[in-house]
Structure 1
Amino acid sequence: MPARLSRLALAALMATSPAVAQQAPSGGDAFVTLGTMGGPVPSRDRAQPANALTHDGRVYLVDVGDGTVQQMARAGIALPTVKAVFLSHLHVDHTGGLSAVLGLRNQTNINDPLTIYGPPGTRELVAGMVASMQPAARVGYGIPGKPWTPPAQTVDVIELTDGESITVDGMTVTAAQNTHYDFAPGSVDVRNYKSLSLRFDLPGRSIVYTGDTGPSAAVEKLAQGADLLVSEMIDMDGTLATVARNSPNMPAPARQQLEQHLSTHHLTPNAVGRLAASAGV
């Protein structure tokens, strides 16, 4: 296993201190955090969850929350270098920037199809985004007879499921269903709705991205011996205070559901430490 420059990266889901996009390296493999602020309330200081995995001169986006394209510009990542997108799950704070990625590719005549990998439901999500792009594509730049490329021709979707491994440009990507949702085992819901953690095995380096998850034996197994673990982390008190300020009139049942979600479907700092220790990272 190669020397480990960084064993554990905490992508702080609900952190409060300002952060800007990392600068993408000029060469080699790297995992660049573009946005580290999860929902449900936007932050003035942080973009929502998004990352860029660079490998062999190519860029792969790993989640695409709101603000992704601006953070890419700040990090020096050009849109044409993006070869694929990986979605951990379909909550809007992890997908809200995808429409801009797709629309700006179309507007700037990047016609090589962009493959989007994600859990069940990704095809439906992307179809809605493609439909929203149709009016602008037909208008183009307003030059008669010169529409942009039909948006459906610029994107492909591959849905992933628990335990699946695929090969993409010389790296192996493995998905593991985590505990961001807690639908009953064997239910229709658990079959139709999945939140995935992802492992990227590159030549000489392995990177695990938890996405959003609660404590999970499957994620511990996925992360065994990884060179870099990029984990979510929640500040429960800070998050609940932010929600209260943003939505002071939230009905009690809705608040209770949110508190249940935040407390059981995310990782506290201690839980992140236990995950890293168990995985040997």
Structure 2
Amino acid sequence: MEIVFLGTGAGMPAKQRNVTSIALKILSKGAIWLFDCGEGTQHQLLHTSLKPRKIEKIFITHLHGDHIFGLPGLLGSRSFLGGEEPLTVYGPPGIRSFIETSLSVSSTRLKYDLSVVEIGEGTVYEDDQFIVEAKRLDHAVLTFGYRIVEKDQPGTLLVDKLMALGIQPGPIYKRIKSEPTVRLDDGRVLDCSEFIGPPKKGRIVAILGDTRPCENGVALAKDADLVIHEATFEKKAESLAAEYFHSTTRQAAEIAKKANAKALCLTHISSRYELKDNPLLEREAKEIFPNSTVAKDFKKILIPVKKDRH
């Protein structure tokens, strides 16, 4: 899993930061999931190796313009660029009307199947590898944070142990991985669990869009490998942050600490701060949560596969 920040600013585009969009690359699937799609997101994609046709899901946190104004253009461009695989957009009530109206008025015709799912709290997506959960955050309009949980994966086949018993590679290995017991040609019966390593613990990413500090944010971030949290303002602007339903660097760090998260990355930075201010913002967060960083456009964070549990 890899995170790519396509836009890390707040409110409106600035010279050093575009507005919000975050890409999650699922390396095992070759798929891309987007979280929010602010104005200019498709332009930001041009500066990366990410291909719009590889985007299969888009999760919208809320319907403020700096999080959705890039969506109609991206949906259209994905079609123009040969995207034919289905795409699903998840978001609060109203996202369907916004998309349908935008595409209809602009006479945009898509060459792929587009599904729009208007969500509430709870599990919004699940497959054999991932669960995506949404909870309501504390913002001026209905806003959801997302928790992406990778399911635990089976352990690796202990090949050396099999070889030591004279069991050579072949179709039998596939059976050992998928069946509880296997009878060999020589009559021996194997307990397959003895030849499978410990399960690989799944990774967790929490994406907390615009919000004041709230308990749902802590719940979504619980034990996460990475928390991405808005930090629109520095710590001394706490009253201003509260007035505009946003968080400060310090407040985001407190959420990560309460949640027992492993790492925090701050984004949705006000245009009053330039990139040269990143060390200040990062330092404020690190006072509370040492493993904190500040995002800038095109920053990448790799979330490696966890080692086997013992």
How many Å apart are 1:176 and its aligned residue? 0.4
Partner of 2:59: 86
* Secondary structure of the corresponding residue to residue 83 of structure 1: strand
85, 96, 108: which one aligns with 2:81: 108
12, 21, 29: which one aligns with 1:50: 21
User: Structure 1: which 4+ aligned runs deviate by more than 4 Å?
Assistant: 236-239, 259-262
1:119 aligns with 2:92: yes
Distance in 1 separating the partners of 2:230 and 2:128: 26
Unaligned runs of 5+ in 1: 1-28, 138-149, 182-192, 240-258
Q: Deviations over 1:44-64 (max 9, x none)?
A: 121110011111210011111
63, 66, 70: which one aligns with 1:97: 70
Distance in 1 separating the partners of 2:235 and 2:149: 35
1:178 aligns with 2:137: yes
Distance in 2 separating the partners of 1:108 and 1:57: 17
Partner of 1:279: 259
Conservation of the 8 A alpha-carbon contact between 1:236 and 1:263: no
Larger helix fraction of residues: 1
Number of residue equivalences: 208
Q: Deviations over 1:230-270 (max 9, x none)?
A: 0100126999xxxxxxxxxxxxxxxxxxx977635111111
**Percent identical:** 29
Partner of 2:145: 197
Conservation of the 8 A alpha-carbon contact between 1:236 and 1:262: no
Mark the CA change 1:261 to 1:122 in structure 2 (over 3 Å): closer, same or farther: farther
Partner of 1:211: 209
Distance in 2 separating the partners of 1:233 and 1:165: 25
Partner of 1:37: 9
* Secondary structure of the corresponding residue to residue 231 of structure 1: strand
TM-score by length of 2: 0.62
Partner of 1:145: none
| Amino acid in structure 2 at the alignment position of 1:205 | R
How many Å apart are 1:175 and its aligned residue? 0.1
Which stretch has the larger CA shift, 124-133 or 83-92? 124-133
| Amino acid in structure 1 at the alignment position of 2:20 | P
Mark the CA change 1:238 to 1:122 in structure 2 (over 3 Å): closer, same or farther: farther
How many Å apart are 1:165 and its aligned residue? 4.0
Conservation of the 8 A alpha-carbon contact between 2:83 and 2:111: no
Bigger radius of gyration: 2
Distance in 2 separating the partners of 1:199 and 1:207: 6
Which stretch has the larger CA shift, 156-165 or 53-62? 156-165
Conservation of the 8 A alpha-carbon contact between 2:34 and 2:57: yes
| Amino acid in structure 2 at the alignment position of 1:201 | V
How many Å apart are 1:85 and its aligned residue? 0.5
